[in-house]
Chains A and B, each alone.
Chain A
Amino acid sequence: MIEVKGLSHSFRVGKKGKETEVPVLKELSLKAKDGEIVSIVGRSGSGKSTLLHILAGFLQPDTGRVLVDGTDLTAMNEAQRAAFRLERFGFVFQNFQLMPGLTAFENIELPLTLKGVPAPERKRKVEELMESTGLAAIRGHYPNELSGGQQQRVGIARALITEPPVIFADEPTGSLDSETEQDILNLILSLNRKYGITFVIITHDDEVAAIANRQYRMHDGELTEGGLRHVV
Chain B
Amino acid sequence: MSFKDQIAFVRQHIRRNRLRVFMTVLAATMGTAFLIVLASVGFGLQKTIKDDILSNQMVTQIEVYSEDMTDAKTDAMKKIGHVETVVHRKQLVPMALGELEGHTGSMNTYFTDFKDEQASGFKLAEGRFPEKPGEVIVGSQFAEQLIDESKELEEGEELATYEGKVIGQTFTFSFEGRNDENASAAWPFTIVGVKEAPGKDWAFDGYLYLDESFMEEMESAYAAASKDRSEEEDMPFTNSQVNVYADDLANVKSITQALKDDGYAVYSVSEEIEQIDVFFLALKAGLIFVGTIAILIASIGIFNTMTMAVTERTREIGVMKALGAGPKLIQRLFLMESAWIGLVGTVIAVVISYGVSFAANAVLPIIVDAALGGETGDSFEVTFSVIPWQLVLIASAISLTVAMISGWRPARKATKTDVIGALRHEL
**Smallest CB gap from B16: residue in A:** A101
| Chain B residue contacts of A210, Cβ below 8 A | none
| Chain A residue contacts of B322, Cβ below 8 A | 56, 58, 85, 91, 97
Residues of chain A from 108 to 137 with CB closer than 8 A to chain B in the complex: 110-111, 113-116, 118-119
**Partner of A101 from B5, B12, B321 at Cβ < 8 Å:** B12
**In the assembly, what is the distance between CA of A110 and CA of B325, in Å?**
10
Taking a contact as CB atoms under 8 Å apart, the answer to whether A82 and B1 are in contact is: no
Q: Is A53 an interface residue (CB 8 A)?
A: yes
Q: How far is the CB of A24 from chain B (nearest CB, A)?
A: 12
| Chain B residue contacts of A85, Cβ below 8 A | 322-324
Q: Is A95 an interface residue (CB 8 A)?
A: yes
Taking a contact as CB atoms under 8 Å apart, the answer to whether A79 and B324 are in contact is: no
Interface with A: B225-233, B271-279, B326-334, B354-362, which one?
B326-334
**Smallest CB gap from A158: residue in B:** B323
Q: How large, as a class, is the contact surface on chain B?
A: 20 to 34
Q: Is B423 an interface residue (CB 8 A)?
A: yes
Q: Is A146 an interface residue (CB 8 A)?
A: no
Q: Is B420 an interface residue (CB 8 A)?
A: yes
Q: Is B427 an interface residue (CB 8 A)?
A: yes
**Partner of B326 from A79, A93, A95, A97 at Cβ < 8 Å:** A79
Q: Is A86 an interface residue (CB 8 A)?
A: yes
| Chain A residue contacts of B13, Cβ below 8 A | 101
| Chain B residue contacts of A100, Cβ below 8 A | 316
**Smallest CB gap from B319: residue in A:** A97
11 A-B pairs whose Cβ atoms sit less than 8 Å apart in the complex:
A78-B327, A79-B327, A83-B324, A83-B326, A86-B324, A89-B324, A99-B316, A102-B12, A113-B9, A114-B324, A158-B323
Q: Which residues of A contact B (CB under 8 A)?
A: 53, 56, 58-59, 78-79, 82-87, 89, 91, 93, 95, 97-102, 110-111, 113-116, 118-119, 158
6 A-B pairs closest in CB distance:
A86-B324, A85-B324, A82-B326, A58-B419, A79-B326, A97-B319
Q: Which residues of B contact A (CB under 8 A)?
A: 1-2, 5, 9, 12-13, 16, 315-316, 318-329, 419-420, 423, 427
